[in-house]
Amino acid sequence: MEKEIKLFLDFIQNDKKLSDNTLQSYKRDILQYEEYINKENIDYINISLTDIQNYVKFLQKNAKKSSTISRNLASIRSFYNFLQRTKKVGSNPVEGIQSPKIEKKAPSVLSSQEVELLLEQPSNADLKGIRDKAMLEFAYATGMRVTEIISLNIEDVNFEDGFAVCRTSTKERHIPLGSMSLKALKSYVDSARPILIKDIDKNNALFVNINGKRLTRQGFWKIVKLYKDQAHISKDITPHVLRHSFAAHLLQNGAELKAIQTMLGHSDISSTQVYMQFQDESIKNVYRKAHPRA
């Protein structure tokens, strides 16, 4: 099975052009599945529907969330689809398994006041503070995912026209930068980044750590948590909360849903519609002001 897993991971990496994060998720899911069936002495080629159902029960007993179980099943289903294509199995044992229902929770969103408080925390007194200010302003201004932000290169920012280019394996999107974000970014690029980077000719990463290397996801998360604690904000804030806040605040201030979908990079409008719930109060205010019988 180890050989087949390697071939499968090579296939999805080369043929499907998945991001590193997605690839790592597939790998974790499949290796966990392999560990389970080895422990239970199950032949992965001749595995039954009942065996898969028992694996789902095993995940549930280990307090895995419905979303995690659904992702696991999707990974295993893809693995057996690959085995079908390579003639290793005749059918996919996961096809008869229904994924557990995922409860759609409202995304966590900061108020405008909380965002202001968070963005005020970094100090311009040192290189790290200048970088952190630019990074937080950029995250809130663009709504980019943390992986997209840390993958950016210096040439992906057009300072003259005020936009950033976000590239994924399948598409490219241009996202405007607000004046506050552009100002903080220029300050960082002009005064802090050249000092942080040891060899500026060989490192084109936009955001770097104090060692001059490209910033990591973990590094980004730690920075957000540091300033969240410093601001004494009780809400749990992650880089994705800034993305949610970006979308919700745009909608509250009159932006069209289709434009927000484009900026977020959602392929399906239904993913963007989750933010409609945050529009309720602004709609009521418009109604009260504009309707003659309000």
At 25-83, the pLDDT tens digits run 889 999 999 999 999 999 989 888 889 999 999 998 988 888 888 899 999 999 999 99
Residue 168, phi then psi, degrees to nearest 5 = -120, -175
CATH code 1.10.150.130 region(s) in the chain: 2-85
Contact 91, 52 (CB under 8 A): no
pLDDT in tens, 68-80: 888 999 999 999 9
Question: Order of strands, edge to edge, in the sheet holding 157-158?
Answer: 157-158, 163-167, 172-176
The pTM assigned to this predicted structure is 0.64
Residue 293 pLDDT level (bands cut at 50, 70, 90): low
When the candidates are 1.10.150.130, 1.20.120.420, 1.10.3720.10, 3.60.150.10, the CATH number that belongs to 2-85 is 1.10.150.130
> What is the fold, at CATH topology level, of the domain defined by 112-286?
hpI Integrase; Chain A (1.10.443)
> Which of 28, 85, 167, 287 is flagged as catalytic?
287
Q: Which ranges constitute the DSSP H helices of the chain?
A: 2-15, 20-39, 49-61, 66-85, 112-119, 127-142, 146-151, 179-187, 193-196, 217-230, 239-252, 257-264, 269-273, 280-290
217 belongs to the catalytic site: no
Distance of CA 124 to the CA centre of its chain: 28
Query: What is the distance between the alpha carbons of residues 108 and 111, in angstroms, rounded to a whole number?
Result: 10
CATH code 1.10.443.10 region(s) in the chain: 112-286
pLDDT at residue 281 tops 80: no
Nearest to 181 by CA among 133, 144, 221, 237: 133
> Which of 140, 188, 243, 275 is flagged as catalytic?
243
287 belongs to the catalytic site: yes
